């Protein structure tokens, strides 16, 4: 019996929803589809992918929850990067301020540095410099004569430290909000994805009650016929095209087979009955390099479709001459 299980990944689920909605539009009334109608399927689909704007922009475009989640993730990454930049700039400012104060307070840590915020016995600049910059702001406020408005192009002042504190605070707040927004968007997407998955499962069950297991209309809804095997169909339209003279290359392709997730292309020496090439690929095309076969040798080329359940029968061989 064919495996019509609900896809776990986003793209295959969207493809199946599109096909299901089209199938419901074409055949829903005729077969008596009552619960999982075109309107219901499209509502679940639009929730995920959105809808374009109508004529003249009315109604306006509706962004889907997948887009909203992607945007929220991108915004989260941007806010994390902005906070990293603000931290780097804050550490640089703090480092320059320390350099201006060493002539007064000493080249290495001592108790005088406590009033600047270095209370751990070290002058190392912390990874997150917000608290240190707040201490520096206060220190300069108490000792305005020790400010340096232009130290190698950097303002080491209470105002500059305050600006850095505000930049860090704003960046951290924006990062935190972006994480909340990303979590909210992910939860909304997950709920819509789950609802669409349930819709597909219910549609499959409803169709099983309305049409026969070998009814061709299963295809219109994006499903395989339940009466079919779980292994792929035999590929069709195998074509073998020789490469340039002397290249010993054969370009091989076929039509994608239903239920196939990969293909085995095989070449056998026609006279010696010996396999000379075997390629396992995902796409329904490949290039067979027959470097160990003499030019002019005839080979039989076949293809087998594959999936997790097994392999199809091979196609009828096509005889080709190695260029």
How far apart, in whole angstroms, are the C-alpha atoms of residue 41 and residue 202? 11
Domain 236-321 bears CATH identifier 2.60.40.10: yes
Q: pLDDT per residue over 161-210, tens digit each?
A: 999 999 999 999 999 999 999 999 999 999 999 999 999 999 999 999 99
Pairing status of strand 298-307 against strand 274-281: unpaired
Per-residue b/e over 160-198, b at no fewer than 16 CB within 10 Å? bbbebbebbeebbebbeebeebbeebeebbeebbeebbe
> N- to C-terminal Cα distance for the chain?
43
User: Please, are residues 82 and 123 in contact by the beta-carbon 8 Å criterion?
Assistant: no
Q: pLDDT per residue over 69-78, tens digit each?
A: 999 999 999 9
DSSP state of 258: T
C-alpha dihedral (132, 137, 138, 140), degrees to nearest 10: 120
127 φ, ψ (degrees, to nearest 5): -60, -40
Collapsing DSSP to helix, strand or coil, 42 comes out as helix
Q: What is the mean pLDDT of the chain?
A: 94
- Its pTM stands at 0.73
Q: Report whether the peptide linkage leading into residue 59 is cis, meaning its omega lies within 30 degrees of zero.
A: yes
Q: Average pLDDT of 6-10?
A: 92
Pairing status of strand 298-307 against strand 262-269: antiparallel
User: Please, are residues 157 and 149 in contact by the beta-carbon 8 Å criterion?
Assistant: yes
Q: pLDDT per residue over 279-316, tens digit each?
A: 999 999 999 999 999 999 999 999 999 988 889 999 99
Locate all alpha helices (DSSP H) within the chain, ordered by sequence.
Answer: 10-31, 38-49, 65-105, 130-142, 158-210, 217-220
Q: Is the model more confident about 174 or about 272? A: 174
Identify the pLDDT of residue 3: 73
**Any residues with CB less than 8 A from the CB of 215 and at least 6 apart, and which?**
225
Domain boundaries, the chain: 1-228, 236-321
How far apart, in whole angstroms, are the C-alpha atoms of residue 112 and residue 117? 10
Confidence band (pLDDT; 50, 70, 90) for 2? low
Cα–Cα–Cα angle for 12, 18, 23, nearest 5°? Answer: 125
Q: pLDDT per residue over 27-58, tens digit each?
A: 999 999 999 999 999 999 999 999 988 888 88
DSSP state of 308: T
How far apart, in whole angstroms, are the C-alpha atoms of residue 82 and residue 172? 9
Q: Report CA Rg, the chain.
A: 34
Percent of the chain with pLDDT over 70: 99
Confidence band (pLDDT; 50, 70, 90) for 59? confident
Identify the pLDDT of residue 61: 86
CA distances from 313 to 37, 302, 303 (A): 37, 10, 9
Identify the pLDDT of residue 1: 60
Confidence band (pLDDT; 50, 70, 90) for 245? very high
Percent of the chain with pLDDT over 90: 87
CA distances from 8 to 11, 12, 202, 224 (A): 9, 8, 16, 17
Angle, helices 158-210 vs 38-49, to 10°: value is: 160
Per-residue DSSP letters for 54-103?
Answer: -GGG-SPPEE-HHHHHHHHHHHHHHHHHHHHHHHHHHHHHHHHHHHHHHH
């Amino acid at each position: 019996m064919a495996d019509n299980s609900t896809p776990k990944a986003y793209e295959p689920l969207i493809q199946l929803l599109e096909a299901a909605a089209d199938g419901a539009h074409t055949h829903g009334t005729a077969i008596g589809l009552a619960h999982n109608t075109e309107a219901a399927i499209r509502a679940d689909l639009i929730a995920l992918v959105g809808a374009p704007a109508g004529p003249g922009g009315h109604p306006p475009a509706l962004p889907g929850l997948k887009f909203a989640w992607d945007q929220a993730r991108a915004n989260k990454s941007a806010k994390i990067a902005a906070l990293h930049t603000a931290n780097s700039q804050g550490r640089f400012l703090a480092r320059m301020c320390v350099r201006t104060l060493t002539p007064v307070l000493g080249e290495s840590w001592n108790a005088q540095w406590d009033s600047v915020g270095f209370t751990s016995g070290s002058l190392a600049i912390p990874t997150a410099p917000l608290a240190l910059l707040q201490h520096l702001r206060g220190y300069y406020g108490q000792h305005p004569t020790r400010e340096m408005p232009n130290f190698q192009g950097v303002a080491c002042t209470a105002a500059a430290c305050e600006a850095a504190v505000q930049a860090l605070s704003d960046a951290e707040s924006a990062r935190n909000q972006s994480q909340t927004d990303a979590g909210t968007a992910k939860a909304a997407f997950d709920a819509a994805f789950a609802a669409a998955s349930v819709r597909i499962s219910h549609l499959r069950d409803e169709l099983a009650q309305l049409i026969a297991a070998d009814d061709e209309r299963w295809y219109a809804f994006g499903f395989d016929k339940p009466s079919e095997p779980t292994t792929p169909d035999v590929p069709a339209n195998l074509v073998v095209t020789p490469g340039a003279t002397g290249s010993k290359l054969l370009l091989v392709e076929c039509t994608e087979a239903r239920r196939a997730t990969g293909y085995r292309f095989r070449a056998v020496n026609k006279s010696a009955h010996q396999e000379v090439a075997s390629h396992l690929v995902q796409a329904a095309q490949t290039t067979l390099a027959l470097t160990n076969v003499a030019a002019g040798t005839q080979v039989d080329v076949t293809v087998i479709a594959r999936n997790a359940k097994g392999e199809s029968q091979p196609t009828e061989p096509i005889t080709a001459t190695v260029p």
